[in-house]
Amino acid sequence: MEIWEESQHLYGAPKITSKLRKIGIQISERTVGKYMKELKIRAKYCKPFTVTTRDSNLNNKLKNILDEQFNPEAPDTIWCIDTTYIPTKEGFVYLTSIMDLFSRRIISWDLSTTLETTNIISLINKVKATRKSNPKIIHSDRGSQFTSKEYCEITAGITRSYSKKAYPWDNACIESFHAIIKRECLNEYNISSYNEARRLVFSYIDGFYNTVRIHSHCGYISPLEFEQKYFEKVQKVNKAA
């Protein structure tokens, strides 16, 4: 019950089981599920994501290089970028996130009041300045921002990959993240303004999702810890060489 409360009611039986085993309590996932049922508690349900951008109709030129290969072997191999709408009392604001597929970590994000391409360019400039290297591939949907001349220029030297038209599963990991942040955080509030939305997004991504929230892809540790363990392993190998 305590682990479920600490997760803000987000964890189901698999993650609770993992957390219990890490503190030395050997218990099966089935037993945890049974106890949860008895206590009448469950993880929050996430509705399937939906398409939020229009296709640019450049079907023959925009190739899906990623092809649903979501598990690179090292950080900064594949980045995925996506924009989602967030309603507020003042109108929509737009969250653009960049995910490193290796760890599922959100390595940069921006919240804006418009869908202008300049917001995307600024975000990519920011993340390129903070990461160890540029990715081999950057994947997005076919929204006009991601097919613009400016976007092609800022991603020069990086292979651009695009989801097929009206097929968000091609960018499933980051589409799923945007569904998760809405389910676990944003949908809990009647957001009044851009500033409140930004505060909530910052608190969730930087204060919880990247650093605390355990992820099955990461072996039930946080994305940040998963990435750190990779670099620690590389450092040990280099020292031993």
Q: For residues 94 and 85, is the Cβ–Cβ distance under 8 A? A: yes
- Predicted TM-score (pTM) of the model is 0.78
Is 82 within 8 Å of 171 (Cβ atoms)?
A: yes
Query: What is the model's pLDDT at position 49?
Result: 46
Instruction: Determine if residue 220 is left, alpha or beta; phi over 0 gives left, psi from -120 to 50 gives alpha, anything else beta.
Output: left
Cβ proximity of 93 and 204 under 8 Å: no
pLDDT reported for residue 46:
52
Say if residue 228's pLDDT is above 60: yes
Q: For 84-138, what is each residue's pLDDT tens digit?
A: 999 999 999 999 999 999 999 999 999 999 999 999 999 999 999 999 899 999 9
Q: Residue 4 pLDDT more than 50?
A: no
The pLDDT, as a whole number, for residue 188 is 93
**Mean pLDDT for the stretch of residues 212-231:** 95
Distance from C-alpha of 214 to C-alpha of 105, rounded to nearest angstrom = 11
- Say whether pLDDT at 206 is over 90: yes
* From 5-14, 43-52, 192-201, 213-222, the region with the lowest mean pLDDT: 43-52
Question: What is the distance of C-alpha 219 from the center of its chain?
Answer: 16
pLDDT of residue 53: 47
> Residue 240: what are its φ and ψ, rounded to 5°?
-75, -20
Check residue 52 and give its pLDDT: 46
Mean pLDDT of the residues in the chain: 85
- CATH code of 78-218, in short, is 3.30.420.10
46 or 233: which leads in pLDDT: 233
- pLDDT at position 197 over 90: yes
Question: Is residue 10's pLDDT more than 50?
Answer: yes
* pLDDT tens digits for range 26-85: 667 676 566 556 655 566 655 544 444 444 444 567 899 998 889 999 999 999 999 999
Give the residue-averaged pLDDT of 182-188: 95
pLDDT given for residue 13 in this prediction: 62
Predicted confidence band of residue 186 (pLDDT cuts 50, 70, 90): very high
Residue 14 contacts residue 29 (beta carbons within 8 Å): yes
User: For position 136, what pLDDT does the model report?
Assistant: 96
229: Cβ contacts below 8 Å, ≥ 6 apart: 221
Q: Are strands 91-100 and 105-112 parallel, antiparallel or unpaired?
A: antiparallel
